[in-house]
Amino acid sequence: MMKSRTLDIATVSRNAWERLVVDPTLGVISLLVIFSLIAAFAFPVFYAGNNIYNLVGSSITVMILAIGMTIVLISGGIDLSVGAVMALCAGTAASVVKLGAPLWVAFLCALLVGVIAGLMNGFLVTRVGLPDFIGTLAMLGLASGVLYIATQGVPIIGYMTSEYYVIGGLEPLVGPVTLPMVVALVLALSAGWLLSRTRLGTHFFAVGSNAVAARQSGVSVRWVKTQAYVISGVCAAIAGVILAGRNNNVPADLGTGYEIQAISAAIIGGASLMGGRGRVLGAVLGSLTLALAINIINLAGVPSSFQKIVIGAILLLAVIANYLSELARNAALRRRAKRDSQASSLERTKKEI
Amino acid sequence: MKSSSPLARIMSVPGMPMTFVLIITVVVFQMLNPVFLDASTLGNYITNGIPIILITLGVAIVIMGGGIDLSVGTVAGLSAGMTMFAFVNGAPLAVGIAVGCGTGLVFGLVNGFLVAYLRINDFIVTLATLNIAAGLLVVLTQVQPLQGVDVPGFPELTKSDVFGIPTSLLIAGAVFLIAQIILAKTVLGRRLYAVGISSQAANVAGVSVPHVRLMSFAASGLLAGLAGVLLASRLGAVQAFLGIGYEFIAIAGAVIGGITLAGGSGNAWAALVGGFFLVTLQQGLRLNNVDPVYFSIVTALAIVFGVVFERQVRRVILRTALQRTSALSDQRATTAAASARSAAAKSSEGNDDEK
Amino acid sequence: MRANDSVSTPAVLEARGITKHFEGVTALDDVELSVGAGEIHALLGGNGAGKSTLISIISGVTKPDRGTIHLNGSPLASSGPFAAMAAGISTIYQELSLVPALSALDNIFLGREITKKTLGLPLTSDRRGMEQKVRDLAADFGITASELGTPVSEFGALKKRAIEIVKALAFNPQVLILDEPTSGLEDAERQVLFGYMRSLRERGVSLVWVTHHLEELFGLADTATVFKDGRRVDTVPVESTSAAELVNLMFGMDSEEFGGGDASRVAHLSTSAGSRVVLRARNLTRGTVVRDVSLDVREGEIVGLAGLAGAGRTEVVRTLMGLDALTSGTVELDGRRLSLRSSTAAYRAGLAMVPEDRKQLGILADLSTAKNVSISRLSTVATAGFWISAKKERALAEKFRTRLGIKTPDVDARIGNLSGGNQQKVIVARCLNTAPKLLIFDEPTQGIDVSAKVDVHTLVRDYAANGGSAILIASEVEELLELSHRVLVLKNGRVVGEVDGIPAAIEAGEFARIKSEVLNLSAAGGAS
C-alpha cells in the first residue's frame, strides 16, 4: 500500500486542466480560434471570397522559415540570419534563371547557398564559439551585404517565367491548391517526422534540453547544432525560391524583418528560447496566427503600416503569456508538492501507529 | 610582483586595443586619400556618426550589466520621428527634444521592466519592442509628413559649431563624460558592474539586481532617444525606415570596442572607439570609392573578429596572471600545500553539498 | 587490511595507488579501493575528502596522476568515460544527467538508438524495438510501458533515478557507481531505491555508493571505505560497525589542529551570550527542504547549525537572507518583522551573510579588493549617497586590511588573484562594513588554508566578543563547537536537537562528549 502510494507521488498524475495550461500548442490554437471568432463576428468579409485562401497563401513564407527556426530553437540556438539568407537565396535563384539556366539548376544553386549559410552559422557558433545570436547576426550582415553588392541596390527582375508563376503560388497548381502550399505541407510533415521519429530529431531535443547529458551520452553537440542551422538554411532557401516568385522581383531588402516573424511564429507555437521545446505544428499554427492577426487589422481598415506593431505586440503577448503559464504551472506544482507531502506525512503517521 | 609589462596593462583596459586600431585606420585612410581629415569632411563624418555612437554607448551599458538590447536602432528612429512630429505640430524647441528623449526613455523602461521584473528573455523582449518602435514610426510618417519645419535652434544642434568644434560633438562628449563618470564613480555604476560580473554573487551581496537591470535599459533607451533627436536635427526630415539596422552596427561597435558580451567589464571609452571605428570605416570606404554596400559585410566580419580578438587578449592576460599566481604559490608551497589540498578537493567536489 | 578479510569474493574493481593533484594540491593521496562482485561498497567522508575525485577517476572522467584502475584484474586504459562504460563501469551522477525534454525511452537509448532503415538509410528510431528490449528491465524498476513514453520532466526524483539505473544497466555494467542517489528523495522513496539496489546486487552488479547518510548503510551496504583529506582512513565491514564508529572515522580529530588532541587545550568562546533576543525566526518552511524551523539568536550569541550535507542548513539561512522564498514562517530582527522579499531588504534590515561557495556566490572576481569590501553598503564610501569616493573606499579597505590581516599587495588589485583565505576575509570585511545586527557565516573556512582558517576563527571570536550575534554553519564539528555558544542540529530540513552551554562544557573538559552528542544527533537523531 505504502509503496504504490509513493510511486504515484513520484510519477505525475495531472488533471486535464493542468495539461491544458502546460500544453503550448493548445495556447496557440485557442489564440487562433479567438482571432477567427473576432474576425468572423466583426468582419463578415472574413469568410467571403478568397480572403482565407489569400491569408493562407500569405503565411507560407514565414511558415517555412518558422519550421527551420523551430528546429534551431529546439536545439538551443537562434537564427537571426534566416531573412537575409532567404533573400540571398531568392536573389541566387532569380539571377540563375535570368542567365537562362534551367529552373532546377537555379533551385540547386539557391539550396547550396542556404546550406553554406547554415554551415557557416554552425561554424561560427560551435567552432568559433560566438553566442548564437551574435554569430547569426554576423551572418545576417554578411548575407544581406552580399545581396546588396550583387544587385547594386537595384531589384532583380525579368526572371518570371510561366513556371515561376506556379512556383511563387501566383498560379494555382491543381484546383485552388498552389505549389507553395504543397511544399509547406511536405516540409512540415517531414520536419515533424524528423523531430518525432528520427535519431537526429531526438538529438535536437537532447542538445537543447541538457547539452551536458547529451554529451555524456555520446551525442556530438556541435555537429547536431550545426545540422539544425543547416536545416534552417535549407528552409530559408526554399522560402527564398518561393518568395522570389510571389514577389515578382527581388529587391536587396527582401528579407528584412522576416527573422522576427519567423521567431514570433515559432515562439507563439510553443518553442522556447531555452531550448528543448517546440513543435512543427506550433510553428505552422503560429505563422497562421500572425497572418490572421495582420488580416484582421487589414479588414478593420487599419493601414498595413501597423503590421510591424502588431507582430511585435503579439510576440510580447506570447512571451508574457508564457510567463503567466509558467507561474500557473509552478503554482500547480507547489500545490501538488504540498498535497504530496501531506499525503506522505499521513502515511508516516499511519506507519508509526 | 608587478611583473606584467606596462603595455600589457594598458592593453588590458577595455577599449585600449581598439584605440590603437582606430588610430592606425585613420592614418591609413588619410594616406589613401588626403581629403579624409579635411576640415569639412571631418566635421561631417563626425556629426554623421554621433547618433550611432550614442546608441552604441546605450547597448554597451546594457551589455556591461549582462544583458542585450536590440531595440535601440528603431527606438532612435521613432524618437527622431516623435521629435519631428512634435515640431510639426508647433511644439517649441525644448518640448520637441523632451518628447524625443522621453520616447526613448519610455521604451527603455518598458524593456527594463519586462526583463528585470518579469524575467522575460531580454533578447525576445527587445526584438519585440524593436518591431513595435519601427511600426510606430511607419504609422507616424503616414499620419503626417515629418519634415519641413523651421524650429529655430534645432538644426543648429548638429549644424553649428562652437570654436570650430561641432555642437553635436560637444553634446556627445558631455554625454560620454557623464556616462563614464556614472559608470566609474557612482553607486549605480558600481552595482552595474557587480551585476554584470555575476548577478548571483551581486544578489547575495545585497545588490538589487532587478533595479540595476531596469536602470541599464532605461539608460539605453534614453541614449537612443537622444540619438533620435540628433538624427532628426541633422536630417531635417524623418523617413519611415529610419533606424532599422542601427542595432547591428551598435552591437558590433560595442563588441569591437572591447566590451565583453558576458558582461561585467567595459567602459564608455570602449563604446566610443568601437562605434567610431565603424563610422570611420564607413567614411573611409566611401571616400575611397568603395561601394557603401560593402559596409554591412565589413561590420559582420568585424563582429566575428572583435569577439575572437577580445577573447584571445583575455586568454593571454589570464595566462600571464595564472603563471604569476603559480609562481607565487611555488614560493609559498611549503606552507600552503597541506591546507590548499582541501581547497582543490572542494573545487573538484563542488557537488558534494547538495543544493 | 580488514577489508580483505571481510570480502570473500575476488575483487571486480580495484583502484591501486591513485594519486591526483589539482593545481599543485593533492586531492587524492595513494588511495586503494577494492570492490568485490555483487558487493555494495559505500564511500564515506566529509566534504573534500576525495570521494568525488575518486569516482570521477574510476568512471574515466578524470585522469589520475598516478595509479591504475583494474577491472577483473586487468588494468583499464584511462581513455575517457566511454571507454570506462564500454569496459563495464557505469556512473549515475548526483546531478541528474537525463534530458528533461525527452521520454524515458529516448533517454535510456540516447546516443545509441536502435534504428531501422528508411529509404535505405538508418535514420529512423525503432522505438518499438527499443521498448521491447528494455521493457522487462524497466518493469523491474517500477517503470511501466506507458511511462517509457512520458517526458522525463514529468517524473519525480525517484522515477528519474530508476530511469538512470535502467539506462546504465542497458550497458550491462559490472560496476555501477551511484553518487548520492538518495538526494531529493522522500523517505519512502529511499526505501524503494534501496530495494532497487538490492536487486542490482542480486544481478551480480557491484555497486560503489557515495553517501552522506550513514543510517542508510545498515542492512544494505556490505563494506564501507572512509576517506578524509584525500586519504583512505579505513575500510570496514558494515555489519560489524556502528554509525558512531563511522562518524569518528570521518570526522576524527586531527592531531595538529584543535588543541593537539588535548581536550583541555580546545579553544572555545569566552564570553557568554546576552539575554536580549536579536533574531526570532518561527516555523520557517520552504517546500520540503526547510520544515518548521524555529530559532532564536541572542545578543552576542553565536548559534551553530550542525547537520550532514543536505540537512537544510544553507537553505535555512538563504531564506533568512531573502534569497529563497519561504512557503511559510516569520522572522523578526530586533523585534521588527522582516519582509524577506529580497537580499537588498535583508541587508537594509541589518542582516549580512558570508555565503558558502566563495567563488560562485562570494567574490565578484573581476572587481578589486576595495570594491568587494564596499559593495554591500556603498553609502559608507559615498558622498551624498551616490558619489563614490575612491579615497574613502581605499581607506575603508585599508582599515579592514589591517584589522583582518588581509594579505594583498594592493587593495586595488583584482580580488580573483588573492588566495582563498584572503578572499574570505574580504567577504567578512564586506559584511562587517554593513554593521550587521546579525551576521551569517556559511562554511566560512571552506577551501582555505590552515593559517587563514585560524585567522577566520579569530575573526568570528572577536566578532562575538564585541557583542555581535551570528549564525554559523560549519561541516567540521570541532570548528562548529569551538565557535558556537549553542548548536542546533538539522536533519532533513528539521531541527532534531539542540546542544547548549558549549563554551562551559568545553571548559569543563567535556569536548569529546558534546562532540559525540552532536554527531550522533546529525547521523541518526530524530526519526523524520
pLDDT tens for the 528 residues of chain C, in order: 344 444 455 788 988 889 988 755 678 888 889 998 889 999 988 766 788 888 888 888 888 888 888 888 888 876 777 788 888 888 888 766 888 889 999 999 988 888 887 777 777 888 888 888 888 888 888 888 888 888 888 787 788 888 988 888 877 889 999 988 887 777 778 888 898 889 888 888 999 998 877 778 888 899 999 988 788 888 989 888 887 778 777 766 543 444 444 545 566 776 666 778 899 999 999 887 888 999 999 988 999 998 877 788 999 999 999 998 888 889 999 988 988 889 999 999 999 999 988 888 999 988 999 999 999 999 888 888 888 998 999 999 999 998 888 888 788 888 888 888 888 999 999 999 999 999 999 988 877 777 788 888 888 888 888 888 999 998 778 888 888 999 999 988 889 889 888 888 888 878 888 888 888 887 765 443
pLDDT of A336: 63
Contact C288 A6 (CB under 8 A): no
Q: How far is B183 from chain C (nearest CA, A)?
A: 11
Residues of B in contact with C361 (CB under 8 A): 200-201, 204
Residues of A in contact with B296 (CB under 8 A): 141-142, 144-145, 148
**Length of chain B counted residue by residue:** 355
Contact B197 C364 (CB under 8 A): yes
User: Which residue has better confidence, B154 or A20?
Assistant: B154
Statement: residue A161 has pLDDT above 50 = yes
Q: How far is B125 from chain A (nearest CA, A)?
A: 6
CA-closest candidate to residue B135, choices A59, C7, A313, A338: A313
Contact A6 C186 (CB under 8 A): yes
- pLDDT bin (cut points 50, 70, 90) of residue A343 is low
Q: Say whether A177 sits in a helix, a strand or coil.
A: strand
Q: How far is C97 from chain A (nearest CA, A)?
A: 5
pLDDT of A83: 95
Ranked by mean pLDDT, the top range of B96-110, B148-162, C421-435 is: B96-110
Contact C113 A206 (CB under 8 A): no
Q: How far apart are CA C470 and CA C491, in angstroms?
A: 21
Contact B346 C343 (CB under 8 A): no
Statement: residue B338 has pLDDT above 60 = no
User: Which residue has better confidence, A333 or C236?
Assistant: C236
b/e burial code for range C499-512 (CB count within 10 A of at least 16 → b) = beebbebbeeeebe
Chain C contact present for A345, CB below 8 A: no
Contact B337 C419 (CB under 8 A): no
Contact B293 A152 (CB under 8 A): yes
pLDDT of B332: 40
pLDDT of B330: 40
pLDDT of A341: 55
Residues of C in contact with B348 (CB under 8 A): 22, 27, 52-53, 56, 62
Residues of A in contact with C155 (CB under 8 A): 10-12
pLDDT of C515: 84
Nearest to C110 among A6, A200, A219 (CB): A219
Q: Say whether C429 sits in a helix, a strand or coil.
A: helix
Q: What is the pTM of this model?
A: 0.83
Q: How far is A204 from chain C (nearest CA, A)?
A: 10
State how beta strands C438-442 and C351-354 pair: parallel
pLDDT of B185: 92
User: Which residue has better confidence, C528 or B115?
Assistant: B115
Contacts across the A-C interface (CB distance below 8 Å) = 103
pLDDT of B164: 77
Chain A contact present for B128, CB below 8 A: yes
Residues of B in contact with C475 (CB under 8 A): 353
Task: List all residues of chain A from 295 to 334 with a beta carbon under 8 Å from chain C.
Answer: 334
ipTM over 0.85: no
Task: List all residues of chain A from 249 to 288 with a beta carbon under 8 Å from chain C.
Answer: 276-277
- pLDDT bin (cut points 50, 70, 90) of residue B50 is very high
Q: How far apart are CA A252 and CA A274, in angstroms?
A: 33
Ranked by mean pLDDT, the top range of A45-49, A220-224, B162-166, C447-451 is: A220-224
Nearest to C355 among B204, B325, B348 (CB): B204
Please report, to the nearest 10 degrees, the dihedral formed by the alpha carbons of residues A289, A295, A296, A297 taken in order: 120
Mean pLDDT of A52-79: 93
Helix spans in C350-501 (H)? 369-374, 390-404, 420-432, 450-465, 477-482
User: Which residue has better confidence, B228 or C23?
Assistant: B228
DSSP, residue by residue, C13-53: EEEEEEEEEETTEEEEEEEEEEEETT-EEEEE--TTSSHHH
Q: Nearest residue of B to residue A123 by CA position?
A: B304
Statement: residue B277 has pLDDT above 80 = yes
Instruction: Please check whether residue C361 is in contact with residue B200, taking contact to mean a CB–CB distance below 8 angstroms.
Output: yes
pLDDT digits (tens, 9 = 90+) for A199-244: 999 999 999 999 988 888 888 999 999 999 999 999 999 999 999 9
Chains in touch with C (≥3 Cβ pairs < 8 A): A, B
